[in-house]
A and B are shown apart, each in its own frame.
Chain A
Amino acid sequence: MNLQTTVSGRVLTAHLTGEIDHASAPRIREKIDDAVTEYAPTVLRLDFRGVSFMDSSGVGLVMGRYRHAKTLGCETQVANASRRYETILKMAGLTKIVRFVRDGNEVKKA
């Protein structure tokens, strides 16, 4: 898992890539939390476009990031999750606390 973050205004985007499971989750968690602490964004966007696998460990990851971000007054979004990942994430009722968004297409937003 190679995690890149980009900042645009007060929006911090974490570009998740590769496989999200119990083995990879701790490092992803750490990197995201560090970036959130560093940039103090108002929106944390977890971009799932590059994710090749995710199991229920991803739910714990998103919930934990939501909780951490919330203590800093930051909102969490899940972007570009495939149907499969969305199914899993929504099983936990995440829709109540996290906004699911999708970029228009492959075009990068400024």
Chain B
Amino acid sequence: MKKINEFRMTVEAKAVNESFCRAVCAAFAAQADPGVEEIGDIKTAVSEAVTNCIVHAYAEKGGKIYISAALLENGVLRVKVRDRGCGIADVKQAMQPLYTTKGDDRSGLGFSVMETFSDKLTVRSKVGKGTTVVIEKRLGSDGNA
């Protein structure tokens, strides 16, 4: 599918950048005339992916997060969130609802939330190399658009 538009950015894996990252993706999506709900869906899914880079991939020690987004001809927004962190040994297990390797404040729902609020979610990961999460969302079918 042809890209109509795209952007790329690299951002430090700091918690303070979480709201910045989701706002950038929402602002980029705005050109496709999304509804209020769709914007909320994108922000929520992006926030989960970015937070996972900070909390898990780099274990709060910092690193770089690579974000890119493309708007496709068919009205789909495709956001990629990539890190060069620790990677995930068993992606299928990690994506199970309530599965978490960080008890306390984490509930193991990030991937479930990403799945719920996107149309398609793809996760590729290699231990020691990093993880790429691809979130796809069709825009403009909200009704409020």
Q: A91-B116, A92-B98 are in contact. Are A59 and B19 (CB under 8 A)?
A: no
Residue on B with the closest CB to A56?
B109
- In the docked arrangement, what's the CA distance between A84 and B109, Å? 14
- In the docked arrangement, what's the CA distance between A19 and B43, Å? 11
Number of A interface residues at 8 Å Cβ cutoff, please give it: 21
- In the docked arrangement, what's the CA distance between A7 and B43, Å? 33
**Chain B: number of interface residues, binned into ranges:** 20 to 34
Instruction: Report chain A residues within 8 Å CB of B116.
Output: 87, 91
Q: A55-B44, A87-B116 are in contact. Are A22 and B51 (CB under 8 A)?
A: yes
Q: Is the interface of A mostly helix, strand, loop or mixed?
A: helix
Residue on B with the closest CB to A63?
B107
The residue in B19, B37, B47, B51 that gathers the most chain A C-beta atoms within 10 A of its C-beta is B47
Asked whether B128 is an interface residue with its Cβ less than 8 Å from the other chain, the reply is no
CB atoms of A60 and B106 under 8 A apart = yes
Residues 32 to 60 of chain A near chain B (Cβ within 8 Å): 53-57, 59-60
Q: Which 10 A-B pairs have the closest CB atoms?
A: A23-B15, A60-B105, A59-B107, A56-B109, A55-B47, A22-B51, A60-B107, A56-B110, A21-B18, A23-B18
List 26 contacting pairs A-B, 8 Å CB cutoff, sorted by A: A19-B19, A21-B47, A22-B15, A22-B105, A23-B19, A29-B105, A53-B19, A53-B43, A53-B44, A54-B44, A55-B110, A56-B51, A56-B106, A56-B107, A56-B113, A57-B51, A60-B104, A60-B106, A60-B107, A61-B105, A63-B107, A64-B105, A84-B37, A84-B40, A88-B44, A92-B109
